[in-house]
Amino acid sequence: MAQMNKKWVVLCSTAITAVYAAGYFTTETEAAMPPLPHHTQVSIPTNDISKNNNPSNVKSTYTNKHHISPKSLYKDGTYTGMGNNRRGSIEVSVTIKNDKITDVEVSHFAMHYSESDIAGLPSEVVQNQSEQVRNVSGATYSTRAFQDAVQNALSSAQNV
């Protein structure tokens, strides 16, 4: 086959660049828009007003007032956090009770990799009581996004 004329090469390249640019700017709002909300607190089951009517709860409050204990690190409740990078995003729900991570769930997985790559990480967080997990071989980006998501949730749960 004969070589393509250089004028055609330039013309086609220009046309393709124009189409690419049109696509790029058309999708700019999608790219700029975070797919999921950051720092969303789902529920905080703390001292319920109805429970305070119960004399035993009042007693408990009284006891707490006089008990010298360090301030808790986290507020009880379920918190969501998001981690994202160039390969997608992950949203997790972290449940905290008495300063302990009791449950971690991947609530939204939008990475360009398989979700099964990080299937073992939520239980690892509960076990380690920290967002620090082993790096899953071949799933570095998903692992990083997951860690960021847990860190994100924990920082919104922090008792300040």
Chain residues binding other proteins by CB under 8 A are 1, 3-4, 8-9, 12-13, 15-16, 19-20, 22-24, 26-28, 30-31, 86-88, 112-114, 116-117, 135, 137-142
Instruction: Pick between residue 45 and residue 138 the one whose CB is nearest to other proteins.
Output: 138
| Least Cβ distance, residue 138 to other proteins (angstroms) | 4
Task: Evaluate whether 61 touches 46 at the Cβ level (below 8 Å).
Answer: no
Nearer to other proteins, 13 or 127 (CB): 13
Q: Which of 65, 100, 89 is nearest to 147 (CA)?
A: 89
- The least distance separating other proteins from the CB of residue 52, rounded to whole angstroms, comes to 47
Nearest residue (CB) to other proteins, 17 versus 123 = 17
Handedness of CA 148, 149, 152, 158 (dihedral sign): negative
Nearer to other proteins by C-beta: 32 or 160?
A: 32
Rounded to the nearest whole angstrom, what is the least distance from the CB of residue 106 to other proteins in the complex?
16
Give least dist CB 29 to other proteins, A: 9
Amino acid identity of residue 76, one-letter, is: D
- CB environment 27-55: b (16+ within 10 A), e (fewer): eeeeeeeeebeeebeeeeeeeeeeeeeee
Give the ranges where 27-87 is alpha helix by DSSP (H).
Answer: 28-32, 49-52, 55-66
